[in-house]
Amino acid sequence: MVSVSLIGCGTVQRQRRISVVSRRARLLTAGQRECLERDGYLLVSSLLDETVLAPVRARLDELVHQALVAWDASPGQAVEERGVIDAALGLSGRDFAPCREHPLLAEAAAAMLGPDWHLAGLGLRAPLPGCGHQGLHPDYYPSQRTYGPWRSLSAMWCISAFTAENGPLRVIPGSHRVARSPVDDLAYGCETGPHPAEVKVVAAAGSVILFNNADLWHSGTFNYSPAPRLAVTAAFRRGRAPADDVPAGP
């Protein structure tokens, strides 16, 4: 796995976040917020244009190449998910600033998590051809919460277009309000197969998928295309950033 050092938001990020929300209010419409609350996810199409996406995509291609070279050099190394390149991306560098600083993200985080939240991480997930399928899961199992503000929000940026063939995110709308997990609710092994209520989120490059990763049933799917499918996910959590994430002083 390729890893780039993480630097947390801390007080400076919290101050910048508040000013962004106050200057750029109402980017998230009432209807979009209602969809988020009801379905647990929302697709917002084509927010980033190709002039913004091109340098992000080029940097991700470099990380994918580095990971493949490392795998070839050490084929026995442990990986979290076989056939999938995961990389932690820095929270302070310029390379991925568009994926963490778009004002819609701040407004969505404030709407779903409450007034006190922080950016907890930024990461690449790139399933290689023939790989990437997961069983349906909520990230916070076995402690699903079926009411109240969300505990976390994921903003998955489609750096590649998400097509039916290249391993798009799949979700079960409304499952964030179900007090069961797919493992408990479905017959043994069925969480890995198709679900009658699943939605595979197909989207243009530059779109963002907002979803309740803590409690919504979701998963990756098989990438049947000839190239890695690139996505950068910004992870937001309730409360202040942990002390370990606060940048050191000068």
Query: Each residue of 43-78: pLDDT tens digit?
Result: 999 999 999 999 999 999 999 999 999 999 988 787
Assessment of whether the complete model's pTM goes beyond 0.75: yes
Q: How confident is the model at residue 214 (pLDDT cuts 50, 70, 90)?
A: very high
Residue 117 vs residue 190, higher pLDDT: 117
pLDDT for 249 equals: 36
Across the range 183-191, mean pLDDT stands at: 81
Across the range 181-199, mean pLDDT stands at: 87
Let me know: does 182 contact 191? Beta carbons within 8 Å: yes
pLDDT for 226 equals: 98
